[in-house]
Structure 1
Amino acid sequence: MFRKMRRAKRELPKEACMEILKKGEYGVLSTVGDEGYPYGVPMNYVYHQSCIYLHCAYEGHKIDNISDHANVSFCVVTAYDTIEEKISTEYESVILFGQAKTVHEEEEKKDALMALMQRFFPAVKDTGIDEAWQKTNVLKIDIEHITGKFNN
């Protein structure tokens, strides 16, 4: 179902992929959009409980797309630098594929929001999640396939 990486010598092991997911600043969520066009949107995320969690509004383009086609991809790049003398770049990245869905279960949703808060705002003690969790949509990507690639 999923293709093998063309340049296998640059493929990262699964453990390294998970580390990239843990340290990435943001990722790009890609969905199948109107008339089959891809739609990619940069998003904050957290890798938590072996899944990707995202927060967003309850409506919009990506939500419509996911409602129609749950299959998504998510890409994270954590290192990038140009090497002028070699006309090349150094990088490490991960791309994963899975099914995206809205989290409806209260405890899972609160747990995901807390993980997002701790990741991006570790100094904030009173997160307000108990009051705000119903106003915030949380998406979960169950990872079906993941690959990582590097050049250094």
Structure 2
Amino acid sequence: MFRKMRRLGQMLSQEECEEILTNEPRGVLALLGDYDYPYALPMSHVYVDGKIYFHGAMTGHKNDAVKKYDKASYCVMDEGVRNPDDDWSYIFRSVIVFGRIRTLSDDDEKVEKLTNLGDKFFPTHEETVSEIEKLLHRTEVFELTIEHMSGKRVEEK
């Protein structure tokens, strides 16, 4: 169903893809937006148990798009390194995920996933807990279940 990568020599392993999803903080989420235009937005994420989680407000374009159509794509790139062979190009790795996105409705599940997110970004677990207590009532949590994932090493030339 999903296309195979053309340049198989640049393909990353499953483990490399998961390492990027685990360690990199942000990516771009692509949804089907208003009037069937693509809607791509930068998101912070956490990768837990083979799924990707995001948080956001309870209303807005993203929420409407998720309710309308549950297919999504998410792209994450690492920071890259300067190519040692020249002064301008970079070598970087990227992962593209295709899957189904949904909004979590169970508060216990939301707290668990928000804790995973917060612990990735806040300096202390106590700060994570404090933020969740303040904002849970107005925070949505989105779960992206991965159906296909591919990663690639790119060397600009």
Q: Same fold (TM over 0.5)?
A: yes
Give the corresponding residue for 1:39. Answer: 39
TM value normalised by structure 2: 0.88
Q: Give the SS at the match of 1:3.
A: coil
Shift of 1:146: 0.5
Distance in 1 between residues matched to 2:54 and 2:88, nearest whole Å? 36
Which residues in structure 2 correspond to 1:3-82 (within 5 Å)?
A: 3-81=3-81
Give the corresponding residue for 1:94. Answer: 95
Distance in 2 between residues matched to 1:82 and 1:40, nearest whole Å? 27
Give the corresponding residue for 2:140. Answer: 137
Decide whether the 8 Å contact of 2:25 with 2:46 is kept in 1: no
Shift of 1:132: 2.9
Give the corresponding residue for 1:106. Answer: 107
Q: Percent identity?
A: 38
AA matched with 2:153:
F
Distance in 2 between residues matched to 1:100 and 1:18, nearest whole Å? 18
How many residue pairs match? The answer is: 152
Q: Give the SS at the match of 1:125.
A: helix
Shift of 1:124: 4.3
Give the corresponding residue for 1:117. Answer: 118
User: Unaligned regions of 5+ residues in structure 1, if any?
Assistant: none
User: Unaligned regions of 5+ residues in structure 2, if any?
Assistant: none
TM value normalised by structure 1: 0.91
Q: Give the SS at the match of 1:67.
A: helix
